[in-house]
DNA sequence: CTGAAAGCGCTAACAC
DNA sequence: GTGTTAGCGCTTTCAG
């Protein structure tokens, strides 16, 4: 149905090779023929089949992306940046949204394999054994963005989660807080679970602030969980004066919980988030957060992956650690010491 | 490098045809051979090339999706639903995020064409002439989700935007409000711009509520715009007692503006949003909103498109109108009449 | 039930 | 500069 290269060749009175040549912008074609071919293409509304081209070139210009949750503000923003950069480099995205669904992830990884994607971006770190082994057998570059799964040969783009969590906690301590609660992630996650937790703990310890285990909770990075855990925290006697949540979503959940208990942020309780998602500016009070360079992270993820794909010189062989940054907004305040 | 069907055939001691047959689950293969082939596949870690298969079958199982803004809560949610449904039906998504970028849209549409996607989902209605003509020449099904561009032969999945806006406005009127501001969309958009505006106006007119043009603003559905427009609205004398914003994002922007002016929602001003995105539950006070069935809309969009692709009997030939629903939360209250 | 062979639409040697 | 031709890895007649 759709016109093929042969049709164009016939119409222009040249060989398919010549058509292919003008399509691929090669030099050795007389201007006159080039024009003829272009006319034929326009008249026929011809678009070369990327499928056929991929088959012979053994390159699909496709990048497979595995996102844990499209509806999270962090992931949708980083995906947006990934998409932008990919498009700029003439790569296309095959997107898979896995919601803690191992089977779906496995299925998609196989789809990626069958689709012969040129590279894969993964944004979570709870890799099942099956996934790991599949990944290791894959012949295409894989890159992790915002996470670093343990025991993997692949490159990660991350911030120093330990230090970022340390700095966030330290900020609360500097504000004079001594009862600081922690709403953590999933301890099966090294990057966003363990590292951030250890950062929190070490900041307390190094500053001789007492660790109170009732103040320490673990969740799943989602708003609802932040809300629920905050409820537990508010039940503690005495109440903490500050909370560090390891995702903005959980921080907002915590803020809402505080609000629903007729307490005020930051007057009664200071809250600091983590990620630097859009949420920070969207809530009131605006959320102070330890920010990841989300946009840059997405961009660099794709650029690095493309380097790997195209095997350019100087493709990095090690993780890229980006800088984190504390952005102070309105959700934390100085703790007035009790008399 | 990667094993091909020929390798499997050799290893199993059968012909490629037989391998192809077991791959495609055909019946007429002796169980014994079937087993042999399966073993060979496992041993080799063989995954059939979807590329090659697409070429001969003239079907890619690919759906191209054009989203206006991945970071918006509405679109990321509907995309999530689209992705889920597509995956369930063994289709894969090629995602394009166009941020009011006509060139990018055109480029992607051409990519879709070259990729030979089986169908296309579009979620905005500002179609340039060039886009329109390209769309019309395309030989694959196209479907619009949540919008209905004027003068298009393609099917749309929408709610009755006029009636939904009418009902939203009416709700405010029933609460006793008489000075009701409107934060609208882009009037170049029929569905979400004009229809919602006319719904608002007619609700006022039919209830003999005076239309005050200073209260009527138009924007772009984004939070920041809601904030800015609300600022203008707050400058009016007298101030309105209620505001209808045609997206939750703008409604939240408006709420934040009210907050930043030391006023209270809903005590000083009632605000109702539109869409039913996650934001509604995320802000305080929680946002009352005229909701679209986002999840269902995404699901039905894909299911309908697949019907069209597979040309099943009973594929709809007309728009599908889904139901809207007012969900009352905490951002609107009864207007106490002035003495 | 099974296999040989033609071709899907394109690119890339290789000749001319 | 330009054309011929052999595949890319698969499915699908068509024989057997």
Per-residue pLDDT tens digits for B268-312:
999 999 999 999 999 999 999 999 999 999 999 999 999 999 987
The residues with which B95 forms a beta bridge, in sequence order, are B65
Q: How far apart are alpha carbons A253 and B283 in whole angstroms?
A: 9
Partner-chain contact B116 A83, CB within 8 Å = no
Contacts of B260 in chain A (CB under 8 A): 284
The per-residue pLDDT for A267 is: 97
Flag whether residue B44 sits within 8 Å of chain A, measured between CB atoms. no
Flag whether residue A113 sits within 8 Å of chain B, measured between CB atoms. yes
The residues with which B270 forms a beta bridge, in sequence order, are B242
What number of CA atoms fall less than 13 Å from residue B281's CA on the CB side? Answer: 10
- With vertex at residue B193, the alpha carbon angle to CA B188 and CA B196, rounded to the nearest 5 degrees, is 155
Average predicted confidence (pLDDT) for chain B: 95
Sequence-distant (6+) residues with CB within 8 A of B46 are B2, B3, B4, B5, B7, B8, B40
Per-residue pLDDT tens digits for A223-255:
999 999 999 999 999 999 999 999 999 999 999
Distance from CA of A209 to the nearest CA of B (A): 32
Residue-wise DSSP of A198-244: HHHHHHHHHTTPPP-GGGEEE--S-HHHHHHHHHHHHTSSSPPSEEE
% of chain B residues with pLDDT over 90: 91
Residue A58's closest chain B neighbor by CA? Answer: B51
Phi, psi of B286 (to 5 degrees): -60, 145
Indicate if the pLDDT at residue A151 is higher than 90.
no
Per-residue pLDDT tens digits for A164-179:
999 999 999 999 999 9
Contact A308, A119 (CB under 8 A): yes
Tokens of B262: 């030391």
Mutating which of B47, B94, B103, B276 best tests the A interface, going by the most A Cβ atoms within 10 A?
B47
Binning pLDDT at 50, 70 and 90, where does residue A100 land?
Answer: confident
- Chain A and chain B share a number of CB contacts under 8 A equal to 122
Flag whether residue A73 sits within 8 Å of chain B, measured between CB atoms. yes
Contact B64, B117 (CB under 8 A): yes
Per-residue pLDDT tens digits for B226-255:
999 999 999 999 999 999 999 999 999 999
Nucleotide nearest to A46 (CA to C1'): C9
Distance from CA of B95 to the nearest CA of A (A): 6
Give the residue whose CA sits closest to C6 at C1'. B56
B240 to B273, B282, B284: CA distances (angstroms): 16, 25, 21
% of chain A residues with pLDDT over 70: 99
Flag whether residue A110 sits within 8 Å of chain B, measured between CB atoms. yes
Provide the whole-model pTM.
Answer: 0.95
Look at phi and psi of residue B208 and say left if phi exceeds 0, alpha if psi is from -120 to 50, else beta: left
The residues with which B31 forms a beta bridge, in sequence order, are none
Per-residue pLDDT tens digits for B118-132:
999 999 999 999 999
Binning pLDDT at 50, 70 and 90, where does residue A338 land?
Answer: low
Largest CA distance in chain B: 94
The per-residue pLDDT for A315 is: 78
Per-residue pLDDT tens digits for A104-128:
999 999 999 999 999 999 999 999 9
Partner-chain contact B110 A47, CB within 8 Å = yes
The per-residue pLDDT for B185 is: 97
Nearest neighbour of B256 by CB, restricted to A60, A139, A284: A284
Per-residue pLDDT tens digits for A11-25:
999 999 999 999 988
Q: What angle do the packed helices A102-115 and B73-88 form, to 10 degrees?
A: 80
Write out residues 241-270 of A within 8 Å (CB-CB) of B.
Answer: 252, 255-256, 259-260
Contact A51, B64 (CB under 8 A): no
A135 to A75, A131, A132, A190, A308: CA distances (angstroms): 22, 6, 5, 19, 16
Partner-chain contact A282 B107, CB within 8 Å = no
Question: Which of A294, A311, A172 has the alpha carbon at shortest distance from A244?
Answer: A172
What number of CA atoms fall less than 13 Å from residue B59's CA on the CB side? Answer: 8
Flag whether residue B95 sits within 8 Å of chain A, measured between CB atoms. yes
The domains found in chain B, sorted by start residue, are 5-57 (1.10.260.40), 62-159+294-322 (3.40.50.2300), 161-292 (3.40.50.2300)
Q: How far apart are alpha carbons B76 and B79 in whole angstroms?
A: 5
A147 to A90, A122, A238, A320, B250: CA distances (angstroms): 25, 8, 35, 11, 33
Partner-chain contact B256 A48, CB within 8 Å = no
Q: How far apart are alpha carbons B151 and B157 in whole angstroms?
A: 15
Nucleotide nearest to B56 (CA to C1'): C8
Contacts of A114 in chain B (CB under 8 A): 47-50
The per-residue pLDDT for B339 is: 47
Name the DSSP letter for residue A324: P
Per-residue pLDDT tens digits for A289-325:
999 999 999 999 999 999 999 987 777 889 999 999 9
Indicate if the pLDDT at residue B100 is higher than 90.
no
Sequence-distant (6+) residues with CB within 8 A of A253 are A222, A223, A224, A225, A226, A227, A228, A229, A230, A245
């Amino acid at each position: 149905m759709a016109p093929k290269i042969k049709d164009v060749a016939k119409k222009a009175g040249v060989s398919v090779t010549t058509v292919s040549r003008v399509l691929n912008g090669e030099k050795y074609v007389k201007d006159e023929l080039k024009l003829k071919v272009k006319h034929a293409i326009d008249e026929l509304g011809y678009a070369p089949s990327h499928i056929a081209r991929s088959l012979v070139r053994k390159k699909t210009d496709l990048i497979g992306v595995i996102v844990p949750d499209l509806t999270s503000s962090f992931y949708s923003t980083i995906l947006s940046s990934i998409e932008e950069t990919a498009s700029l480099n003439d790569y296309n995205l095959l997107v898979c949204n896995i919601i803690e669904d191992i089977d779906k992830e496995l299925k998609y990884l196989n789809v990626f394999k069958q689709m012969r994607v040129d590279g894969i971006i993964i944004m979570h770190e709870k890799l099942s054994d099956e996934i790991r082994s599949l990944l290791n057998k894959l012949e295409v570059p894989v890159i992790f963005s915002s996470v670093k799964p343990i025991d993997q040969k692949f490159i990660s783009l991350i911030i120093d989660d330990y230090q970022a969590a340390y700095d966030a906690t330290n900020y609360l301590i500097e504000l004079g807080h001594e009862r600081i609660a922690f709403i953590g992630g999933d301890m099966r996650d090294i990057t966003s679970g363990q590292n951030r937790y250890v950062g929190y703990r070490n900041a307390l310890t190094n500053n001789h602030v007492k660790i109170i285990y009732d103040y320490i909770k673990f969740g799943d990075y989602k708003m609802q969980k932040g809300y629920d855990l905050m409820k537990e925290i508010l039940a503690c006697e005495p109440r903490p004066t500050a909370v560090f949540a390891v995702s903005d979503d959980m921080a907002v959940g915590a803020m809402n919980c505080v609000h629903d208990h007729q307490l005020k942020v930051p007057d009664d309780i200071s809250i600091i988030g983590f990620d630097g998602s859009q949420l920070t500016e969207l809530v009131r009070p605006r959320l102070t957060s330890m920010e990841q360079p989300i946009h840059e992270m997405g961009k660099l993820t794709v650029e690095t992956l493309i380097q790997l794909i195209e095997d350019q010189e100087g493709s990095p062989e090690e993780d890229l650690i980006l800088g984190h940054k504390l952005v102070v907004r309105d959700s934390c305040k100085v703790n007035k010491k009790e008399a």
